[in-house]
Structure 1
Amino acid sequence: MSALTENAAPAPFTDEEFRDTLRELPPSAKLVAKVLEDDAPLSQGDLAESSLLPDRTVRYALNRLEESGLVDSRYSFTDARKQVYFLTV
């Protein structure tokens, strides 16, 4: 049986693990991660505006980053209809 329980959060990435995981992702995911590194949490629309990428490309990048465990999301405190994204590091 695993030492982690269902509610336990996974251990955060080290900087080296973060970079190694990010290295395998497409350029759009790298750009979105860089924008989040500088100014998080941001909504998908804010990320599209800051990165100059189309909304669809940002959504794809966020999906790839979330699948890799590098990005997480929560509902915005200022507008509960929106989700905001942030790095897990």
Structure 2
Amino acid sequence: MSATEPRTSEPPTGSWDDVRDLPPSAKLVAKVLEYNDTLTQSQLAEETLLPPRTVRYALNRLEEENVVHSRFSFSDARKRLYTLTVE
């Protein structure tokens, strides 16, 4: 981070327009996160009925577009929690 960049604790946010051109699996994962707030990858796979590999790909695409934020789980550091960050 350079001296000219402002420091913020908020993750960058995207918009639903950023999701529009993504694959259907990414759109489904985004919608499930919209209704469930914060979920792990395995919970997303259960909710969407998608294979874990597809959920992982969808999450990567959503993170590239800054519409999903991930953080480590405090209860189990091996897991990540995903939250939708759409304005």
Q: TM-score, normalised by structure 2?
A: 0.84
Q: TM-score, normalised by structure 1?
A: 0.82
Of 41, 61, 66 in structure 1, the residue corresponding to residue 38 of structure 2 is: 41
Runs of 4+ in 1 over 2 A off after TM superposition: 1-5, 7-13
User: How much has 1:10 moved relative to structure 2?
Assistant: 5.9
User: How much has 1:88 moved relative to structure 2?
Assistant: 1.2
Report whether the alignment pairs 1:83 with 2:85: no
Provide Cα deviations, 1:28-55, integer angstroms capped at 9, x if missing partner. Answer: 0000000100112111100000000000
Letter in 2 for 1:58: V
Report whether the alignment pairs 1:20 with 2:37: no
Structure 2 gap ranges (5+): none
Partner of residue 55, structure 2:
58
How many angstroms apart in 1 are the aligned matches of 2:68 and 2:11? 13
How many angstroms apart in 2 are the aligned matches of 1:11 and 1:58? 21
Report the RMSD for the aligned CA atoms in angstroms.
2.0
Which has the higher relative contact order, 1 or 2, with Cα contacts under 8 A spaced 6 or more apart? 2
Structure 1 gap ranges (5+): none
Alignment: residue pair count: 84
